[in-house]
Each structure stands twice: as C-alpha cells, then as structure tokens.
Amino acid sequence: MSSGTAIRSVSARQVYSDRGHPGIEATVVTENRSVGVAVCTAGISVGQHEVEFAYDGGTKWRGRGVQKAVDNVNQVIGPALKGLDASRQSEVDDAMLNLQGPGAKLRLGGNATAAVSAAVLKAGAAALGISLYEHIGGVNACTLPVPGEISFMGSDRYGGGKRSGGKPSYAFMAYGFDTFSDASYAIWDISTEWRETLNRKFAIPKVSRTSHPVIQAGVIRHDREIWDLMAETVQRMGYGGKVGFQVDVAAGTYYEKERDRFVGLFSAEDKTREDLMRLYRQMVKDYPFIILEDPLDEDDYDGHAILTRELGIQLVGDDLFTTNTERLLKGIQTGAANTVLLKVNQIGTITEALEMVRMAYRNNYGIMPCDSRGEGPDIADYSVGLNCGTIRECATGPRGNRLLQIEAELGKRAEFSGKKGLKGKAIG
C-alpha cells in the first residue's frame, strides 16, 4: 500500500439533498490529502427490498432526519476504517460490513455505509491521481451511454400511486446518433420544443430545465394523450427512428394487494395485471417506447418475464432488483427483465453494487445507472467506468456536462453506445 492512499479520516454530516429532504454526506481524506465526498439519500419510489436506512424518527424533519446515521459514521465507522487503503475498495467495504460482527448495515444504516463507501471510492481515485471512471473501469472504460431527459412527471392525476409517492415519469431517449454530443444536443433540441408544445396545448407554464413539467389532475383522461403528443413532437422535429420513449412506471406504488388491482395508473380505471400487460403490448406497438421500467409489481417475476419475451424492448428492473444479487439471480432464473437499474446507494456499498453488475453482465443483462440516491454527476463516471449502454436521463445539466467532459477526455477512444446499447430484439 502506498502511504498516500491510506485513510486519514472519515466524517459525516446531514445535508439537504437534491430532493429537498435530509441526506447524509460522508467525507474521506487520505494521507496524501486527497478527498472523496459522497451523498446518500432516499428516492421518490422506494422499493420494499432496498437496504434499510437509519432515520432519527420523532417529529423533527418529519422523522426522516439522519443524524443517527451521521453519528454512526463519526463514532463507529470512521475510527474503524482509519489506516485502511482507500484504493482497495473491497477490503474497506468488507471491514465496514463486518464491524461489530455480521449485519453491520442493519445496525449502522445502509445510508451510512453507502455514503462512506462511495466517498472511499472517490478518495481512492483522487489519491491515485486518476479519474473516477478510470478507477472503476481501467483502460476499458470508454463507452458513453444513451442519454435522455424527463419529458414530464405526473401529479396525482388519477388518484393512485400513494404508497411511495411514485408516479410514471416519461423521458425522451436519444439512441440514433454517432456521438454522445450529438445525442445530447438532440435531447436539448426536442426537450426545448416539448416545453413549448406543452405550454401551447395545456397552458402549462414553461419551467427551467432543472424542473420537470407536471400534468395536473383533470387535464387529461389517459396518459395516451401525452404519448400522442410526444410522438408527434418527435416526428415534427425530424427525430423519428433516432429518439424513443422511456417510462419509469413504478407500478408497485399503484398496486393494492388486498384488491389485486393497480389503481390510478395511466388512467382512472382500476387495472388487473392482465389489463396492464395488454396496454404495454399496445404501447410498444403504437408508440416508440424503447424502455419500460418496473411495469408490474416489484415481486411479479413471472409477469416481468412474460413482458420481456413478448415486447422485445429494454425491460428494466429497479424495485424488482434493488441492485441486489439475490433478487437479480431470481430474475435471471425466471427470465424477468433484461436490464438492472443501478443505484449504487441502494444496496449499501460499492463492492456489493459491483458484484451485482458482474452477475448482470455474465448473464447478458444490461446496466442502466440512475442518480436518484444522491450520486449526482458521479453517475456519469459510474456509467462510463462500467461501459453501460443506457443511463437514466443525464443528457443535459451537470450530469450531461460531466459526460461531455469525459467524452472530450477520451477523444478518439470514446464510443457512443447508440442503438446497440439498448437491450431487446426490437431495437438492438
């Protein structure tokens, strides 16, 4: 071990996340004064099988304060990791996962371990004097993913989705281009036109690019009205066959188990599993949907397997897999989905997330990174480091800027995944 890469200190504090609620920020400093800082926070649609976070409870921060997790980092994790080599990620994570015996994540909080683990990864890269994507993937890290941008997110349009606040969010995805730069521009172009279109059609005020248009309750009767408008916009802008649709359904948030119905999803009518599956077949037939995420309940492996076989597009498991090797293995065995949504803070440590990635690649599953757990622009480095074919959003803004920067750094070595980065016979 180089003395410079040894961990000098580990600390944490509570911060405001991008979503406005508290998150935990960890800072790792090495002996050569290199620093890694990472945030872990909760998402909007939280799967039941995600790692359990440590929250304070009580009334302050409406029970979602994370000072308990902060204290666990400062008082337990930090002292135990001092002196370990930040460039040897698995050794550091193993030590953390076994603090005071097995089950450390449950005792200390998955948000505490995830924030520290990600900060160690960044500190290790900084201490070695290399980019984060190089630290993750070495010389093979050269693929830029198919990016997108959210076209709109729903309010409680039809009275469903109450369990975790998740609503279907739609995005334009640019795959029919030669470079990431070209794809990024296409998304900027079509998204700019889209905001103007929504304003003309529904009198929805123009919002900044950091905010997402919202369709309020009562404005439309079925999301099909939006699909029609999205498809018309793509064609009018000359991006037919180059830009498709992605939807994060988060169907489990609409599922009422006692009734065995999905309530308020896509329209006001209650839907059975079979109703939804028929609708997905029609969606893929009539519109350029290329990616569906969590289209059914998060424990419905058989249903996801049927859709994967029949639709021929990229089927992504988020709540279905929760970046967890055990859940992914079940998906592999049943043929459920063909892509895993990667949320590195969803499982508890970088090492566990990368174990899941290796399992996915060995079984011909794709990886689609997402920054909804606090990863921020670092998600661009994860994507390139892992040579991912697609990424959630990230065409513009700080995440897009980081991908453009990486593309420039790679120069002639940069490869845009494009159409071949998508899973599914109908597209790839």
Q: Which residue has the tokens 């498709």?
A: 244
What is the model's pTM?
0.94
**Domain tally, the chain:** 2
Enumerate residues 6+ apart whose C-beta is below 8 A from 271.
261, 262, 265, 279
For residue 363, the enclosing domain spans: 137-421
CATH, residue 49: 3.30.390.10
Q: Is the pLDDT of residue 252 over 60?
A: yes
Report yes or no on 201 lying in a domain: yes
pLDDT, tens digit, 9 for 90 and up, residues 364-375: 999 999 998 889
Report yes or no on 428 lying in a domain: no
Residue that finishes a domain, picked among 96, 129, 162: 129
Enumerate residues 6+ apart whose C-beta is below 8 A from 1.
85, 87, 88
Q: What is the pLDDT of residue 166?
A: 53
Q: Half-sphere exposure of 356 toward its Cβ, with a 13 Å CA cutoff?
A: 31
Q: What is the pLDDT of residue 307?
A: 98
pLDDT, tens digit, 9 for 90 and up, residues 181-207: 999 999 999 999 999 999 888 877 666
Q: Is the pLDDT of residue 153 over 80?
A: no
Residue that finishes a domain, picked among 129, 148, 164: 129
> 237 near 148, Cβ under 8 Å?
no
Q: How many CB atoms lie within 10 A of CB 44?
A: 15
Q: What are phi and psi of 39, to 5 degrees?
A: -120, 140
CATH, residue 398: 3.20.20.120
Q: How many CB atoms lie within 10 A of CB 19?
A: 14
Q: Which residue has the tokens 């995420």?
A: 293
Residue that finishes a domain, picked among 129, 152, 186: 129
pLDDT, tens digit, 9 for 90 and up, residues 154-181: 656 787 665 444 578 999 999 999 999 9
Q: What is the pLDDT of residue 164?
A: 46
Pair (118, 166) in one structural domain: no
Quote the tokens at residue 8. Answer: 């000098």
Average pLDDT, the chain: 92
Pair (272, 348) in one structural domain: yes
